[in-house]
C-alpha cells in the first residue's frame, strides 16, 4: 500500500509521497548542466563544431526544432519564458535521431522508447548490475523471479483512456539505449492524470552521468508531452542520501496521508522534516492553533507534539502482535473501520473463484459470520482490502480467489 509506515525507527525518516504539476516545473541549474553534459557526450565535439558552422542557431530555429502539440504545451511554454530561456523539451530531445543534422554524424546514437513492462533477459542483466553496484546486493539475493515480481507485468493493465484514446495508461518500461545497448530503464505507472515514477535503474558504466537527474527530467517531459497533469516522484525519505535529489525538483508537493491533501514543500516543512520522524502538516496546523489559543512553554509545545504524533504500536512487530485489524491501527492512507462501513457496500463487493462466474459477497456462505475488524474472517479480509484501495475501486473490482 502506498502509505508511509508510522512505525519507522528513530534512525530513519518517514517516506512522504511527492508530486507536482508538470507544467509548473522549473529546472534547476545542476539539472540543466547534467542534461547539457549528456547531450554533449552523445553528440560529440566534432558534431557540435560542425553543426555550429553549417547551422547557426537562432531563436526561431530552436523553438521550432521539435514538433509538439502546441495546445498541450501553451501553459508550459509561457511558464518557461517567464522564468528563464531554458526549454526542457527542446534540450531533452536535442541529441535524438529525429533532431540531428542529416549530413553530420554524432559520436553516439541515443534513443529512449516506451514499451509494456514485460520481462526480458536484457532488462534483468541491467537490473542485476544496478542492484549489485548501487544496493550492494550479493548474487544469491538477485533473482529473475524477484525481478519479475518487483518490476514486471504488474496488475495495472494497459487500457486506453476513454477520454483520450492516444494517451497511454498502465505500467511501462522506458528504455534508454546508447548505440543499441540498454544502459538505463525507468519503471513507470501511467495514470489518466499522472506519470508516476516507480523505480529507475542504470548500468554502473554510466554512474558519472547523473542519470537520476536525467530520468526525472525525462519523466517530467513525458508528462508534458503526453498530457498528464502531474508527475509523481514516489517516496521521499528526508535523511536518505540516495533520495536527496528528489528534494531539488521544484515546485513540488507532499501528500498528507491524514487528509489526502497536498502541501507545498517549503522551507518550514523542510525544517520540520529535520525535527520529526515524520511530518503531517494538518497535525502541525492543529498544534499551532492550540498554541495560539493558549500560549505556553517549550514543555507545553513538546507535549502537544508528542500527543499529535503519538503511535500506539511504534514498530511493525508490535502492530502485528497486537492482534488488531488494519482498520484499527490507524494506518495513514487507509480508511478506518467506521469509514469503510459508511463508504463501502461490503455486501456488494464482487469475487470470482475462477471460470468467469462472479459472485457478490453477500452470497458467500460464511460471509455473515465475520466482522469488519476480524482480520481472520473473509469479511475482515475484504474490509481491509477496501480500506486500502478506497470506495471507488472496492465497488468496481472483482477479487479473484481462484488463483
Q: How does pLDDT run along the chain (403 residues), one tens digit per residue?
A: 333 332 222 222 334 456 666 677 888 899 999 999 999 999 999 999 999 999 887 655 555 545 545 555 555 555 555 455 788 999 999 999 889 999 999 999 999 999 999 999 999 999 999 999 999 999 999 999 999 999 998 877 766 666 666 788 899 999 999 999 999 999 999 988 899 999 999 999 999 999 999 999 999 999 999 989 889 988 888 888 777 778 888 888 888 878 878 898 888 998 998 888 888 999 999 999 988 887 767 778 889 998 888 888 888 888 888 888 988 888 877 888 999 999 999 999 999 877 778 999 999 888 988 899 998 899 999 999 999 999 999 999 999 877 6
78/39 Cα distance (integer angstroms): 25
In order, the DSSP letters of 71-106 are: HHHHHHHHHHHHH-S--HHHHHTTTBGGGS-TTS--
**Sign of the C-alpha dihedral computed for residues 153, 346, 389 and 377 taken in this order:** negative
Provide the pLDDT for residue 156. 78
Angle in degrees, CA 6, 8, 9, rounded to 5: 140
Q: How many CB atoms lie within 10 A of CB 289?
A: 9
Which runs of E-coded beta strand occur in 252-318? 253-256, 261-264
For the record, the C-alpha cell of 402 comes out as: 481462484
Pairing verdict, β 110-116 and 170-178: antiparallel
Provide the pLDDT for residue 245. 76
237/151 Cα distance (integer angstroms): 21
Give Cα 117 to chain centroid, integer Å. 16
Provide the pLDDT for residue 165. 62
DSSP three-state, residue 255: strand
Largest CA distance in the chain: 81
Let me know: does 18 contact 252? Beta carbons within 8 Å: yes
pTM of the model: 0.73
For the record, the C-alpha cell of 214 comes out as: 536525467
Provide the pLDDT for residue 70. 52
Provide the pLDDT for residue 103. 93
For the record, the C-alpha cell of 206 comes out as: 554510466
Pairing verdict, β 194-202 and 230-237: parallel
Residue in 373, 370, 393, 382 with CA at minimum distance from that of residue 327 = 373
Provide the pLDDT for residue 235. 80
Amino acid at each position: 500500500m502506498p502509505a508511509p509506515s508510522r512505525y519507522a525507527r528513530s534512525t530513519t525518516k518517514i517516506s512522504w509521497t511527492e508530486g507536482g504539476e508538470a507544467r509548473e516545473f522549473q529546472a534547476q541549474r545542476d539539472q540543466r548542466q547534467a542534461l547539457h553534459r549528456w547531450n554533449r557526450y552523445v553528440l560529440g565535439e566534432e558534431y557540435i563544431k560542425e553543426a555550429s558552422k553549417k547551422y547557426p542557431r537562432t531563436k526561431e530555429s530552436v523553438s521550432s526544432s521539435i514538433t509538439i502539440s502546441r495546445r498541450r504545451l501553451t501553459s508550459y511554454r509561457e511558464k518557461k519564458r517567464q522564468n528563464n530561456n531554458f526549454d526542457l523539451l527542446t534540450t531533452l530531445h536535442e541529441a535524438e535521431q529525429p533532431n540531428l543534422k542529416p549530413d553530420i554524424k554524432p559520436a553516439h546514437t541515443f534513443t529512449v522508447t516506451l514499451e509494456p513492462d514485460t520481462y526480458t533477459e536484457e532488462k534483468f542483466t541491467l537490473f542485476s548490475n544496478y542492484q549489485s553496484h548501487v544496493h550492494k546486493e550479493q548474487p544469491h539475493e538477485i533473482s529473475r523471479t524477484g525481478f519479475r515480481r518487483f518490476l514486471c507485468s504488474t496488475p495495472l493493465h494497459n487500457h486506453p483512456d476513454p477520454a483520450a484514446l492516444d494517451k497511454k495508461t498502465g505500467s511501462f518500461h522506458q528504455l534508454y539505449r546508447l548505440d543499441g545497448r540498454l544502459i538505463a530503464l525507468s519503471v513507470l505507472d501511467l495514470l489518466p492524470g499522472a506519470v508516476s515514477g516507480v523505480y529507475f535503474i542504470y548500468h554502473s558504466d554510466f554512474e558519472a552521468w547523473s542519470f537520476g537527474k536525467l530520468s526525472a527530467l525525462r519523466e517530467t517531459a513525458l508528462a508534458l508531452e503526453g498530457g498528464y497533469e502531474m508527475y509523481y516522484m514516489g517516496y521521499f525519505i528526508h535523511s536518505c542520501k540516495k533520495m536527496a535529489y528528489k528534494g531539488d525538483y521544484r515546485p513540488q508537493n507532499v501528500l498528507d496521508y491524514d487528509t489526502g491533501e497536498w502541501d507545498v514543500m517549503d522551507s518550514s516543512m523542510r525544517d520540520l522534516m529535520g525535527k520529526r520522524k515524520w511530518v503531517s502538516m494538518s497535525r502541525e496546523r492543529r498544534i499551532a492553533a492550540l498554541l495560539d489559543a493558549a500560549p505556553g512553554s517549550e514543555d507545553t509545545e513538546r507535549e502537544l507534539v508528542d500527543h499529535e504524533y503519538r503511535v500506539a504500536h511504534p514498530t511493525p512487530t508490535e502492530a502485528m502482535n497486537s492482534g488488531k485489524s488494519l482498520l484499527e491501527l490507524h494506518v495513514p492512507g487507509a480508511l478506518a473501520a467506521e469509514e469503510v462501513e459508511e463508504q463501502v457496500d461490503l455486501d456488494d463487493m464482487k469475487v470470482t473463484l475462477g471460470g468467469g462466474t462472479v459472485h457478490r459477497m453477500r452470497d458467500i456462505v460464511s460471509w455473515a459470520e465475520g466482522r469488519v475488524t476480524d482480520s481472520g474472517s473473509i469479511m475482515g479480509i475484504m474490509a481491509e482490502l477496501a480500506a486500502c484501495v478506497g470506495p471507488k475501486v472496492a465497488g468496481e473490482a472483482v477479487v479473484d480467489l481462484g488463483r
